[in-house]
Structure 1
């Protein structure tokens, strides 16, 4: 069994070699976005794996889909298979990032408009 850790969810799970990161994430309840059901078609399941020694080498399909992103440590969770212990960094969902940014801007605006705040 190999240990897979998911960040920023701080979840971990032990899985058998050959398990995809997408399946490991599902079992660990770490949310990895996907739309195509694991067929490497949507590219939504991109994850960052700084040390890829715990994964099998990327297949041709994954290399073609990711291109230069592979050099930055990205893999497709639906294609990358566990071969050892590995840490996986799940990027923030773009919708959540947009909402978080909007909330921060609103809080900043509200803080600037509070009477007596800067007095």
Structure 2
């Protein structure tokens, strides 16, 4: 049986205990943290990019490295390929549609009522 390790999803700060060896994408799904994907974790759509400091995740494999084309140097990983090995923190970008709605609501709040 694999040991449980802490995984923190930012910017929410949601910390969960996950089985070592699980992908970040699967951990997010089980924890109710939305990460966009179309390929169901096959590293084809590249939508599941997350940012990390690299701590607590598996080393990047050649296929993921090719897909990211240098973005891994900036701390970008594919959630479907990165496996949790130890305590880790990943930053999940805001869904583009949710971000657009949030920005529109902020603009509306700033507008005068008359």
Q: TM-score, normalised by structure 1?
A: 0.85
Q: Are the aligned partners of 2:24 and 2:83 in contact in 1 as well (CA < 8 Å)?
A: yes
Deviates more, 1:69-78 or 1:6-15: 6-15
Which runs of 5 or more residues in structure 2 are unaligned?
none
Alignment counterpart, residue 31 of structure 1, candidates 30, 34, 40: 34
> Counterpart of 1:58?
60
Which runs of 5 or more residues in structure 1 are unaligned?
115-119
Deviates more, 1:64-73 or 1:32-41: 64-73
> Counterpart of 2:83?
81
> Counterpart of 2:105?
103
> How far off its partner does 1:53 sit?
2.3
> Counterpart of 2:12?
9
Q: How many residues are matched?
A: 111
> How far off its partner does 1:3 sit?
0.6
> How far off its partner does 1:77 sit?
0.4
Q: Distance in 2 between the 1:11 and 1:44 partners?
A: 21
Q: Provide Cα deviations, 1:55-114, integer angstroms capped at 9, x if missing partner.
A: 110111111111122111110000000110001110011111112222223333x32x63
> Counterpart of 2:44?
41
Q: Distance in 2 between the 1:66 and 1:78 partners?
A: 13
Larger proportion of helix: 1
- CA root-mean-square deviation: 1.4
